[in-house]
Amino acid sequence: MHLQPVSNCTNPVLHGWLKDRLAVILATLPACATPVDAGATRAAWEAWQDGLAERFALPAELPLLRMLLVWDNLTGHKTAEMVVWLCRHGIMPLYTPLGGSWLNMAESIQRILKRRTLDGQHPQSPAEIAGWFEQTAQAWNRQPTPFLWNGKRRQRRRKRSGDGHAVGGSGAHTQQPLPPYGRGPQEWHSPRQVAH
């Protein structure tokens, strides 16, 4: 989980932060050992556009497809500058359909993070909230919960024990149930002492 508390989140702020984070993630991925065939590379990109209601024109020259980025279907996320930057770095943006935020597993993580950070707490300042969110994200990264795709349609077709546990109202599921807040050995953040 990557998190940066900010006082406001305009597109320039979000996109600048996202580019930095994506560059760090891409740097950790293994390099391709075999030569890249331009036709196969284009076919891989085009395969992810098959069936999309809204496509964007792919650049003439494409790098190896290295990552899929699923994010909200907001106009600001579809600016030519942002889409071109993503494509140049081997990242294919996939936008959730309107009214389909449950498809984005980040929605589940946000609910869990907020609950673990703020339930039962009485923060005194925005800076305190920001610090708690950062601590909670660090705790999550030390022991992350793997999410498995398990949407509503699949649930209707397949209702057996062992199918997983719903997470945060989205299509994401986990193999093991998440412990209720306040139970279990984990400390999601350590509240700071406030002088009165």
Percent of the chain beyond pLDDT 70?
Answer: 70
pLDDT band at 92 (very low <50, low <70, confident <90, very high): very high
Rounded CA-CA distance 74/72 in Å is 6
Note the pLDDT of residue 196: 43
Rounded CA-CA distance 72/103 in Å is 10
DSSP 5: -
- Asked whether residue 116 carries a pLDDT value surpassing 70, the answer given is yes
Note the pLDDT of residue 185: 47
Note the pLDDT of residue 110: 82
One-letter-per-residue 3-state SS of 44-88: HHHHHHCCCCCCCCCCCCCCCCCEEEEECCCHHHHCHHHHHHHHH
Note the pLDDT of residue 150: 61
pLDDT band at 194 (very low <50, low <70, confident <90, very high): very low
- Asked whether residue 161 carries a pLDDT value surpassing 90, the answer given is no
Look at residue 27 and give its three-state secondary structure: helix
Q: Read off the pTM.
A: 0.67
